[in-house]
Each structure stands twice: as structure tokens, then as C-alpha cells.
Structure 1
Amino acid sequence: MDPEQRPIGWWVKRLDTLLDEAVDAVVAGEELTRRHWQVLHSLAEGSVHEPALHATLADFGAPGELAVVVADLIGRGWAMSGGGVVSLTADGTLAHDRVSRAVGRVRRHVADGLSRQEYERTVLVLSRMVENVERALGRR
């Protein structure tokens, strides 16, 4: 099939697969996965109630998978949990900063050759498509 004839779903799925591979590759040295990065990055924004963390990342893995990742980060001493709230430790903040630089390189590669306006427009278009499908499914 000619690449221009592929539907949007193919491109979205392919990009997500490649993003998984690219992030997994740059965080592998820390024995992390993209899911670890997503949790670590979410926690870097501040303490989060566990249900909210799971809701935020629900599209990126099964609840059991995310619970395993959180437990792993706690086991590393990078996160702590108490009263249903998960937060980064000082070591977790340092790890986030270190891993963030590597993930930043992936993000720059993804946007290579795109102007800031093209990137922002692409995100806007994709967000509208998500809203359209959610509305059609009765989720909004």
C-alpha cells in the first residue's frame, strides 16, 4: 500500500510503537521502560493520589502493570507512598532529571524537520480527532 493511502489509525499506531521502542532504548541503561518514564515524569510534577495517577496513565497500560511500575520505583527508593499518595524522593528527582535529558533527545528527534507551528498544529489536530471519537462513543 502506498504510504499516502494509509489511514490515520495506522500512522498513530505506528508512531506509538516507535515511541515505545525509542524511549525504551534510551531508558534501558537505567533498567526502565517507557511506562516507568511516564510514571516518573507524572510524579515529577508533584505528589499524586494513586487513583489519579492510574487514571492519568490508564491509556498506557493495565492497572496491574502500572502498579508494578510504581512498586518498582518505590523499591528503587525513587518514590514513596503513604496515605494513598505517591511522590518522588530526592533520589527519584535526580533520576527523573537524568532520564529526562535522554527522553528529551527522543522528543527532539520526533519533531525533527517540523516547525514549532507544525508540531503544535499536529497535536491540535490529533486532540480534536480524539474528542470527535470520544463524542461519537458517548464519552463526552
Structure 2
Amino acid sequence: MKPIGFWFAHLHQALESSLEQVLAAEALTRRHWQVLNTIDSGASVDEALSPFGELRKTVADLRARGLIDAEDALTEAGRETHLRLKAKVGEFRSRATEGIGDDDYRTAVGVLERMAANLARE
């Protein structure tokens, strides 16, 4: 049996590359998706995405593409793009969790949360 670190790194790479392929069809990145999805949810981009680092360039790029306006709201084109991506990302997530029940998924996430919390106390 391979250790959890192996599977974590392998899964992380697989998730990243698969999501990149989904978003590439719209010439967008994961950060673009996170900003669009955060805006759609009504949350503040700065607050919700602060753990992911500086996003001013991503927000500026989305404005330049006409997907968000000066008030960080989705434009009509932004709403259409978000809806297309939301469906594709939903399919991606379903594919990634195929054959995994809700209880198993919650257990896996819970274990990872506990491990992260354990290491954060150091």
C-alpha cells in the first residue's frame, strides 16, 4: 500500500490537470473559475479567495474580457460563461467522485481536515 502522501500528490496533480482541460475550452484558468463562481455566489472575492493569494490580475483579466464589470458583478457574458462552466465543472466533479458514496467522501475530507489541523498546531 502506498502512503497517503503519494495518493494526495497524485490526486492533486490529476485534479489540477483535469480541471485545466475543462477550463481551457473557455481559455480560462482555475483562478478565473474561482472568481466567477465566487461572484455568482454573492460572496466577496477578496474575503472568499484570500487563501489563494493575490487575484487582482485575474479580476482585471475578467474585466478586460467583459465577464465582470467595474463593481465586480457578472456581466451578461459572464453569467453565460459561468453557467457553461458550472455545468462542465459539475460533470468533472461527478467524474472525479464516481463510485464514491457521500459517507465515504465526507470521511475522506474529514481525515484530510484532521491531518491538516494536526500539522497546523506545530
TM range (shorter): 0.7 to 0.9
Which of 10, 35, 38 is the equivalent residue of 2:31? 35
Q: Which amino acid aligns with 1:68?
A: K
Equivalent position amino acid for 1:72 in 2 = D
Matched residue pairs, number?
122
- Equivalent position to 2:52, from 43, 49, 57: 57
1:101 equivalent in alignment to 2:97: no
The Cα shift of 1:56 comes to: 4.0
**Identity among equivalent pairs (%):** 34
| Unaligned residue ranges in structure 2 (runs of 5+) | none
Contact (CA 8 Å) 1:73, 1:79: kept in 2 or not? yes
The AA in structure 1 aligned to 2:87 is R
SS at match of 2:7: helix
Contact in 2 for aligned 1:47/1:88 (Cα 8 Å): no
**Unaligned ranges ≥5, structure 1:** none
Which string of whole-angstrom CA distances, capped at 9 and with x for unpartnered residues, describes residues 46-93 of structure 1?
A: 15153x2441433xxxx2xx32221111111111344xxx33223222
User: What secondary structure sits across from 1:79 in the alignment?
Assistant: coil
Runs of 4+, deviation exceeding 3 Å = none
**Greater share of strand:** 1
**Is 1:128 the equivalent of 2:119?**
no
Q: Equivalent residue of 1:42, what SS?
A: helix
Query: TM-score scaled by structure 2?
Result: 0.86
Alpha-carbon distance change, 13 to 80 in structure 1, aligned in 2, over 3 angstroms: farther
Match of 1:75 among 37, 42, 64: 64
- CA drift of 1:10 comes to 2.5
CA distance in structure 2 between the partners assigned to 1:131 and 1:79 by the alignment: 36
CA displacement 1:26-48 (0-9 Å, x = unmatched): 11111011221122212211151
Amino acid at match of 2:52: L
